[in-house]
Amino acid sequence: MRGKTGLLAIGIIICGLAIKFYFIGAFNSQGAYEAKNAFVNNGDAGHYLQIAKHIGKFHEYSDLDKKGLSENATWRPPLWPFLLSPALLLTNNLLVVVILKTIFETALILFSLLFIKKRSGRSFKFVIPFLFLLLEPHYLKYSVTFLSESLTAVLILLLAVLFVYDDRSLRSGLRISVLAALIILCHPVAVFFIATLFSVHFFITARKNLRDAFLQALLFIGLVGSWGLRNELSFHKGWYLTASQGAVFSKGWNEQVVSDFTNTQGDNADESINLKFLTKESYASASGSVLDMGKFYRKGTIAYIEKIGFFERLKIIYVKLRSNFNPFPETPKEGWLEKSAIVLRGLWLLVFFQSILLVVKRVFYRKTVNSRVLIVVLSVLSGQLLMAILIYTGLRFNAIYGLCLLACFLFLNLDILTKIYKKTQCAFH
């Protein structure tokens, strides 16, 4: 890395970090990193902090102020609280914690780019455009919070890179298995994306070595299943990844979806709305606990779906899919970061369309790297489709694919972008 190339790389990295620290400073001036605000009045992010603090203090997964397990804690997937816990042991200063988070995530992104350079065999100039991942607006937005979206986005990027340059060795496959499982344990909304991508990985590996494929599958299933097993052994109420499953199912399927659902506030729906479709006798047995209520939310939602007709179901699916792929926020979102995110979401639609077109034209089979990139893009597309139908997605949940899709766009179009850049340079000279 020498001369203008090195200066450009350093400039992009500094620019990405500068924007991030600008927002960190703005959040800090508003008191967002004050413990009394962050732990208590910060919604999902505050709950992650409570669980992480309990893990460090009592060495168990709970959100109580004393020793003891809590069903409510399992509302959150486990990876992010476990990673956040050591930082809270080091310091109670949440500003320092978010800076440590920034360093950790930036290091993972840069590692992904160095991995691309090494496996591609290309010069450092090839990686320069990928540095713009540090400026991806969805990632920047969530990276300055204590939500799990930004970490999930980075892990999905890393998984995509490992998959694209997978050499089909056992070591490479085991890395993919572990990372795929960790992504589900970080944000279960990615479960269909991971299921699609890992299934393709399994069948490709099985063609070369069936034993290795089964070893990788067992590792993946074992890691994901271990959390469900832990929940069953702890509360004896069944195997589940998060206690929120029934609630989010209800939010995505109810009589208000057609009129009220948006891609910005879908998760604000009333999760208890479908309880009225249950009989009083069945509902009378509810204990009020998180897990018991989740089961009733699910039963009520199934009762609602059985009650409505086929075309009403299609209408609900249509509304959620339209909302999912609408790049514009359906309720106002202010700020230049939000506006720049619209452009990126438009780019995602372009990548989806381009990938489908390439497959139809059988360009899919021409280049090994690009064929694997297409598999990643189509896995994201299928993941969004299936999750939107089953529950809902929206701008926040789809943000976890921002880094990955931008990287895939660069993979598929880098030659074209390079030619455009060169022609532009010649025109100015």
In the numeric block, which tokens belong to residue 407?
Answer: 């990287």
Q: Contact at 8 Å (CB) between 141 and 342?
A: no
Give the pLDDT of residue 212.
95
On the question of pLDDT at 223 being above 90, the answer is yes
Q: pLDDT digit string (tens) for 120-137? A: 888 888 899 999 999 999
Give the pLDDT of residue 218.
97
Give the pLDDT of residue 137.
95
Give the pLDDT of residue 420.
72
Give 249-302 as a DSSP string.
HHHHSSTTHHHH--TTTGGGS-TTGGGGGS-HHHHTT----HHHHHHHHHHHHH
Q: Contact at 8 Å (CB) between 160 and 171?
A: no
On the question of pLDDT at 226 being above 90, the answer is yes
In the numeric block, which tokens belong to residue 87?
Answer: 């930082």
The angle subtended at Cα 191 by Cα 189 and Cα 196, nearest 5°, is: 135
Q: Which H or E run contains 166? A: none
More confidently predicted of 322 and 332 = 322
Give the pLDDT of residue 122.
84
On the question of pLDDT at 294 being above 80, the answer is yes
Q: Could you tell me which of 83, 54, 52, 82 has the C-alpha nearest to residue 67?
A: 54
Q: Is 216 exposed, middle or buried (0-12, 13-18, 19+ CB in 10 A)?
A: buried
Give the pLDDT of residue 364.
61
Each residue of 244-256: b (16+ CB within 10 Å) or e?
A: bbbbbbbbbbbbe
255's CB contacts (< 8 A; 6+ apart) are 273, 304
On the question of pLDDT at 247 being above 70, the answer is yes
Q: pLDDT digit string (tens) for 372-424? A: 999 999 999 999 999 999 999 999 999 999 999 999 999 999 878 777 766 66
Mean pLDDT of 206-221: 95
Give the pLDDT of residue 335.
86
In the numeric block, which tokens belong to residue 331?
Answer: 């309720």
On the question of pLDDT at 232 being above 80, the answer is yes
Round to whole Å and give the CA distance between 21 and 35.
19
Average pLDDT, the chain: 91
Q: Contact at 8 Å (CB) between 101 and 81?
A: no
Q: pLDDT digit string (tens) for 67-80? A: 999 999 999 999 99
Q: pLDDT digit string (tens) for 131-162? A: 999 999 999 999 999 999 999 999 999 999 99
Q: pLDDT digit string (tens) for 38-60? A: 776 668 999 999 999 999 999 99
